[in-house]
Amino acid sequence: MPASIELQRRLRWADSDAAGRLHFPRIFELIEEAESELVRSIQWPMNRSMGYDFPRVHVECRFIRVIELDAQFRLRFAVGKLGRTSIRYDYQVFGADDELAIEGTMTVVVLQGGKPVEIPTTLRAALAGDGVSTPA
């Protein structure tokens, strides 16, 4: 099973708009946090010590239901597809009632020296759920 992670959160004042709802650009900060936690969970270094960069090249978001100020929600973030040089992550946000509120995707490309390269074998294995990453 591909790598995934879930975060439990409550909508903070700083994440809401004047109407007391999730301010739309904040979802991207939340999915970046989830990406960091997923990468940390597979023990891949969060710094650039491995010499790779992972810029976002595509992000989609569909808002289905409102998440209001102080409401609890759950963010599920998972590997959706492993390409040769890219990783697509899928995410869903569920409200306190467990109803789907937001869904989308984020695609990153793997770069080394500014050029696309194949996903490193250990990273691919860990993201695919074949084991914990142990970078060489």
Domain ranges for the chain? 4-128
Tokens of 2: 């591909």
Q: Which residue has the tokens 């990273």?
A: 123
Q: Under a CB-based contact definition with an 8 Å cutoff, are residues 72 and 94 in contact?
A: no
Q: What is the band of 131 on the pLDDT scale with cuts at 50, 70, 90?
A: low
Alpha carbon distance 111, 65 (integer Å): 36
Please tell me whether residue 23 adopts helix, strand or coil conformation.
Answer: coil
Q: Render the burial of 10-27: b for 16+ CB within 10 Å, e for the rest.
A: ebeeebbeeeebbeeebb
- Containing 5, the helix (H) or strand (E) segment is strand 4-10
Q: How much is the pLDDT for 17? A: 92
Q: Under a CB-based contact definition with an 8 Å cutoff, are residues 24 and 63 in contact?
A: yes
The CATH classification number of 4-128 equals 3.10.129.10
Q: Span 18-30, mean pLDDT? A: 93
For the whole prediction, is pTM greater than 0.85?
yes
Alpha carbon distance 9, 41 (integer Å): 18
Q: Span 98-127, mean pLDDT? A: 96
Residue 133 has pLDDT above 60, yes or no: no
Q: Give how far Cα 99 sits from Cα of 13, 113, 134, Å.
A: 22, 43, 37
Phi and psi torsions of 71, nearest 5°: -75, 145
